[in-house]
Amino acid sequence: MRMVMLGAPGAGKGTQARLVSTKYGAVHLSMGSILRKEVAEQTEIGRSIRGTLSKGDMVDDGVVNMIIENQLQRYESVILDGYPRTQLQAQHLDDFLREHPPELDVVFLLELAVESVIQRLSGRRVCERCSKTYHIQFYRLQQCPCGGRLIQREDDNPDTIRHRMEVYEAEIQPLRDFYKDCGLLYPINADQSVEGVFAEISEVLDKIILPQI
């Protein structure tokens, strides 16, 4: 399968993508993780995008398109998380997959209100060693069980989150319409438990998508 996981920052795209990857065997390609790795390793790409990421702005289309093209030539069954983020990126992906099949099977849109996004992200902490995420509401220690220090990402402060949401809201409507017109879009209520969201996604995959492949 080839699928896309859309949604606002903090809607749970990464969590759901990992669950889907485990159950269905698709490779989870997280654009955010790929870009943050470039920054952490101080690669040429990383140095050029550090400021952009810290402000919550979008990385240049040419950079993310190139990264995804390289990954899609390595893996056939994938979950794209954090890409595409604009209609132009979606059109580029569609054109690329027409020349390098298989094409997309499904696009999930995790829907979550802005205030819920702010609450989730402002309390998120990430282990600087293993990258596992926690929330201060449920995990109050300053250290991950692996021994790594828990830190707040630069783009997880409330002001940056609101800016990220403004960027997201401006881009998601045309992207939603694009995939709806393609017949690939399945909205999912993300304002529920992780298990509830995953159950909705699994039902779509098991009853609608997989029987067609």
**What CATH number corresponds to the domain at position 27?**
3.40.50.300
Residues of 72-99 as b/e, b for ≥16 C-beta within 10 angstroms?
beeeeebbbbbbbbbbebbebbbeeeee
Mean pLDDT of the residues in the chain: 91
DSSP symbol at 136: T
In the residue annotation, 132 being an active-site residue is answered as no
Q: Is residue 24 part of a domain?
A: yes
Note down the domain range covering 87. 2-112+157-212
Residue 141 counted as domain residue: no
Answer whether residue 169 is part of any domain: yes
127 in a domain, yes or no? no
For residue 125, indicate whether it is catalytic. no
- Determine the pLDDT at residue 183: 97
Which listed residue (37, 50, 55, 153) is catalytic?
153
Instruction: Please write the tens of the pLDDT for every residue from 69-86.
Output: 989 999 989 999 989 989
Q: Is residue 180 annotated as part of the catalytic site, yes or no? A: no
Instruction: Out of 36, 120, 124, 125, pick the active-site residue.
Output: 124
pLDDT for position 162: 86
Read off the pTM: 0.81
Higher pLDDT, 186 or 32: 186
* Confidence grade of residue 206 (pLDDT, cut at 50, 70, 90): very high
Question: Quick check: is 35 in a domain?
Answer: yes
Residue type, 40: A
Phi-psi region of 39 (alpha: psi -120 to 50; beta: other; left: phi over 0): alpha
Residue 109: what pLDDT?
A: 97
**Does 85 qualify as catalytic in the annotation?**
yes
Find the range with the poorest average confidence among 111-115, 179-183, 185-189.
Answer: 111-115
198: in domain: yes
In a domain, residue 148? The reply is: no
Q: Which residue of the set 2, 36, 85, 125 is catalytic? A: 85
Q: How high is the pLDDT of residue 115?
A: 84
- What total number of domains does the chain contain? 1
* C-beta separation of 155 from 148 below 8 A: no
Asked if residue 77 belongs to a domain, the reply is yes
Q: Which of 2, 13, 36, 120 is catalytic?
A: 13
User: What mean pLDDT do residues 30-37 have?
Assistant: 88
36 noted as active-site residue: no
